[in-house]
Amino acid sequence: MSLPEKAFPVSWDQFHRDARALAWRLAGLGREFRAIVCITRGGLVPAAIISRELNIRLIDTVCIASYHDYLNQGETNLLKPISSELLSAQGEGILVIDDLTDTGKTAAEVRAMMPKAHFACVYAKPKGVPMVDTFITEVSQDTWIYFPWDLGFAYQEPIAKTGRD
């Protein structure tokens, strides 16, 4: 597996802070959400944090696979749909959560199912930004975010030693 040009490792502490920042931003909208639909697997952790912070107890998942080898995004594959109860209102009052929008393909698929839902993610890349309503941090399209659940503890070479700017 070759590493991408730009790597953005995110620690558990940083991810928790960023997910709480997203909860603050969502609370500031003045909307009351009756449920969360998290896009798995990446949306599970931020959905747990946001559900606690916004006191939303009804959580569903939509299971869509798009990264099949951790580096290259392929065709989306719906593994589990959203419950019919939540789909019936076309997403009215529903908060859709994911960790990242990359190209926006996954968000577009879920948005087609729930056009009235509010889409939020912690991190966004330029191609995915038009598909979400709220996010915290934008990174360049050629940056690979290493989430804490994908990392182990290891020494990192200084940037100057690796020849990357």
Q: Which residues are annotated as a binding site?
A: 41-42, 98-106, 144-145
CB 18 within 8 A of CB 24: no
Contact 62, 82 (CB under 8 A): yes
Q: Under a CB-based contact definition with an 8 Å cutoff, are residues 107 and 101 in contact?
A: yes
Q: Cβ–Cβ contacts within 10 Å for residue 27, how many?
A: 14
Q: Which of 102, 133, 142, 165 is catalytic?
A: 102
Are the C-beta atoms of residues 103 and 73 closer than 8 Å to each other? yes
102 is catalytic: yes
Q: Is 69 a catalytic residue?
A: no
The residue annotated as part of the active site, out of 18, 99, 133, 150, is 99
Cβ-contact 29, 43 below 8 angstroms: no
Based on the residue annotation, tell me whether 13 is a catalytic residue of this protein.
no
Q: Which parts are annotated binding residues for guanine? A: 102, 145
Q: Which residues in 10-150 belong to E strands, given as ranges?
A: 35-40, 59-67, 73-80, 94-101, 118-124, 134-138, 143-146
Task: Tell me the C-alpha distance between 132 and 119, whole Å.
Answer: 5
**Candidates 60, 98, 133, 150; catalytic one:** 98
Q: What single-letter DSSP state applies at residue 155?
A: -
Binding residues for Mg(2+): 99
Pick out the residues of the known binding site for 5-phospho-alpha-D-ribose 1-diphosphate.
41-42, 98-106
Catalytic residue ranges: 98-99, 102
